[in-house]
Chain A
Amino acid sequence: MHPAYSVIVFTTFSGAGYGLLVCLALFGMTGGIEAERWLGITGFTLALTMITGGLLSSALHLGHPERAWRALSQWRSSWLSREGVLALATYLPALLLATNWIVFEEIEGAGYLFAMMTIVFSVLTVISTGMIYASLRTIRAWFNPHTVRVYLSFSLWTGALWFNLLAHLFGVHTPWVGVFMVVAGVLALFFKRKYWIFIDTHPVWVPPESALGLEGAGPVRQIAPPNTQENYVQKEMGYRIARKHMYSLRRTAFFGYFLIPWGVALLTIESEPVLRYAGAFVAVFAGMVGALVERWLFFAEAKHTANLYYGAESS
């Protein structure tokens, strides 16, 4: 599949934004971190900016951005529609929780409800994002249970990296933030490894013979394509990535999204303030770059069944 930068940026940044919201809500309501005013102001602003920026980025890649509101109507059948509805719905508890946090500097009473709702809606939104891809039977690399797990764990992990940075900056870091980060990182590593193992061991979905409905009549080989220049389907669905590039990019993604941020953030967690800030910042930067590379690969590695008509050997 053609890796569209708007969608890659959207899913990565809005994922991190929802992850950060979950961290704020979870730590705020459990007292895992002090509900300090400036942490609240910066944290919620950052999270909602990443989410809103991501939503705008994805709306801009539409053929008709001015009609984007129509995408909220088909939530009964469409995961894309559900994602839009849930993304908008999340603003309400998130803003209420932010107000509660910033005004009272503690989460109790109705605040618990806002925090719970923020967590639930954030998680449901990220699940919907994953399901947009995981529901497409046409793409073997996406139509599997690993896709949603990867989207969820990456959202939590990148959000935790941002949360770790903010906790250091506002001097309210607790060991629980570190524990949470370690676990989220391991989850992201684990689910992405499982994902890559799955797509490497399940490459064949549909053979070209079936695409023509001519199974049993011998192997099918393309002689002449229908058009001399690439058409829309070939450009959109026919993106191919060289195998050697794929593995080097997977390594890059692994270092970026997991090893560097996980290692640096952990090593510097108890060090001097400047080193702590620098470590947490490097961890966020590497984590986001790694997540972008991972998301790019998610598209580039995915093969669509329509390619079978244009000479692909399996899809």
Chain B
Amino acid sequence: MLTVTHFTVLSAILFSLGALAVLIRRNPLIMFMGIELMLNAVNLAFVAFSRFMENMDGQVFVFIVLTVAAAEVAVGLALVVAIFRARDNVDMDEIDLLKG
């Protein structure tokens, strides 16, 4: 029997994997994917809570989060393309003009 705890734990694992991807990987595209994974882990938690508490609000939030995620991808890809055009390299370790 699946309980809400199973979903909560799964969403926590997915969220941590996404966060690790952002922290460890240096390719911005992979880092986006990590952020997307984090957002989708949140979506899973919302849907699970909504289902087990019989409160529809959680499902509505998922729609909002999906839209926000799409907007973030659009902005992020545009930035990657702009940087790639300017310097032919998008590795985050080599983008280091600003420091000090």
Tell whether A and B belong to one assembly: no
Residues of A within 8 A of B (CB): none
